Structure 1
Amino acid sequence: MKLMRIQEMEEYILTNGTVSLDELCQVFNVSKNTVRRDINKLTEKGAIQKVYGGVTSIEKSALIPFENRTIQNQDEKTKIGHYASRFIEDQDLIFIDSGTTTKSIMDTLDQGRNVTILTNSLDVINAASSLNNVNLLIIGSSYKRKTRSFVGIDDPGTLDKYNINKAFMSSTGITLTHGLTNSDLMEYEIKKKISEKAKEVYLLADHSKFGKSTLLTYAPFKRVDCIVTSKPLDEEYNKFCKEHQIDIHLAQS
């Protein structure tokens, strides 16, 4: 419950810009000491900062609606998704994460491929439903309109039965220290389980995601097998990837 409250508090602050401590106490029905402790956790991430009598948001990227996020860096995201589709082979059981980058995989997926797609993305579901060679499996117990995805797992053992060859993952923020992060607790459950289960993890992320972290780490950076991104990474990422045999592909054409 504490983790959920902190997540909801972060969303509330990012949505409203500047909020007083008294307002947070009233909205979340907790003491001022509890609010201060939660705020200390959030300020460590760098998304908000303290001001006199309250807090203010530094960035709102974590809560940009899906439709607006689709517009941001859209050309880069589309190229990344199209590039990633080349890694899908016959008889693969793949997971395609929800997100504005991963959904573009379906645009260039070879329609002759016989594959099984496991997904919680509404856009991927709609695209895959018309492909005769695709066996479609859907996970997630409730629909989240903001991200056009199904989230939450009623039975923790649901994903254990699937031998996932390749997982194509998105991330709200990526750092060497905090790994692959996102801001939603219910999405986190699926992302974490898939990342642990998959034989290979493909991270699809445009350049703006690197160097940022959000509330929840669903996988350490070293868990990634392949990165498809839009621009060359900083030297610290290149060095880490070389040391841990992580392939880097630039989708620039």
Structure 2
Amino acid sequence: MASKQELRLARLEERLRADGVLHLRQAAALLDVSEMTVRRDLARAPETFHYLGGYILPAQGERIGPYRLELESDEHAEAKDAASRRAAALVQAGDTIFVDCGTTTVHLADHLPADSPLTVVCYALNTAQRLAVRPNVRMILLGGLFHTSAQTFSGEEALRTIEHLRINHAFLSAGGVHATHGVTCSNFSEVPIKQAAMKRALRRTLVVDATKIGQVRPAYFASIDQFDEVVTQTGVTLATG
């Protein structure tokens, strides 16, 4: 006869097959136990579950595929916008911030405070277009070789510019966040800029919709513990949680 713990783990596995990812708080409510009990259960089944930044995900969660901005823009758009809205609330008046490329952090430009001066560093054309109409924003657009599929720039010129900056807060996006394989994206050309911005930033926030948790993309750029927090549509979680 299966133990109570085995029954709980089986129920979690069934829910993850349907939803792909589950917050610890949701799992505790589903199983009618404490969050500590859920974490103890997960520790007994590392081959089946990963626990990352407050989220539970299947141990086998890899997904690799091509990336085109226009194909990604509408996918989970509401969740991406909600995550960016939460992230924008972390911005302080007078900050110099770095906004990463992609279809999640582009929404950050729409939710930045409108009543205080900001300096925003970016390297994506879609983000720059939204920032250009914000009168309180001084924009630094990193130049270089233009990549049509992702609408981004890259090259030594961009990296040299970052070297001369002091960034209060870097907001990074990712195509995958995995307990074992780290934080990844689809385009290798983005990796040097992401890493340079993180190096120059006092605070680093990862902004993703929750479907990215458990996924893996081909280009690795950071480990999860290099971030101060992870922001999704459901809230802000310490990256070491």
TM-score (norm 1): 0.65
Residue 137 (structure 2) pairs with residue 134 (structure 1): yes
Sort the Cα spacing of 1:82 and 1:239 in 2 relative to 1 into closer, same or farther, 3 A.
closer
User: CA deviation digits over 1:13-53, x for unaligned, max 9?
Assistant: xxxxxxxxxxxxxxxxxxxxxxxxxxxxxxxx986xxxxxx
Deviation at 1:217, TM superposition (A): 1.7
Q: Distance in 1 between matches of 2:238 and 2:232?
A: 16
Sort the Cα spacing of 1:220 and 1:88 in 2 relative to 1 into closer, same or farther, 3 A.
same
The aligned counterpart of 1:109 is 112
Residue 216 (structure 2) pairs with residue 217 (structure 1): no
Give the conservation status (yes or no) of the 8 Å contact 2:143–2:158.
no
Q: How does 1:62-211 map to 2 (within 5 A)?
A: 62-154=65-157, 156-211=159-214
Deviation at 1:239, TM superposition (A): 9.5
SS in 2 for 1:143: strand
Give the conservation status (yes or no) of the 8 Å contact 1:139–1:153.
no
Output the aligned Cα RMSD.
2.4
Q: Distance in 2 between matches of 1:156 and 1:110?
A: 27
Deviation at 1:215, TM superposition (A): 2.2
Unaligned runs of 5+ in 1: 1-44, 48-58, 243-253
Deviation at 1:156, TM superposition (A): 4.3
Deviation at 1:158, TM superposition (A): 2.8
Where in structure 1 do 4 or more consecutive aligned residues deviate above 4 Å? none
Deviation at 1:118, TM superposition (A): 0.3
The aligned counterpart of 1:24 is none
Q: Distance in 2 between matches of 1:78 and 1:239?
A: 20
User: CA deviation digits over 1:98-142, x for unaligned, max 9?
Assistant: 111101112222211201000012122111112222111011302
Q: Which has the higher contact order (CA 8 A, sep 6+)?
A: 2
Deviation at 1:167, TM superposition (A): 0.6
The aligned counterpart of 1:22 is none
The aligned counterpart of 1:28 is none
Q: Counterpart amino acid of 2:81?
A: T
Identity %: 25
Sort the Cα spacing of 1:231 and 1:133 in 2 relative to 1 into closer, same or farther, 3 A.
closer
Q: Distance in 2 between matches of 1:176 and 1:208?
A: 14
The aligned counterpart of 1:21 is none
SS in 1 for 2:167: coil
The range that moved more, 224-233 or 193-202, is 224-233
The aligned counterpart of 1:241 is 240
Unaligned runs of 5+ in 2: 1-59
The count of residues paired between Structure 1 and Structure 2 equals 182
The range that moved more, 205-214 or 150-159, is 150-159
SS in 2 for 1:71: coil
Q: How does 1:22-33 map to 2 (within 5 A)?
A: none
SS in 1 for 2:183: strand
TM-score (norm 2): 0.68
Deviation at 1:151, TM superposition (A): 2.2
Sort the Cα spacing of 1:232 and 1:145 in 2 relative to 1 into closer, same or farther, 3 A.
same
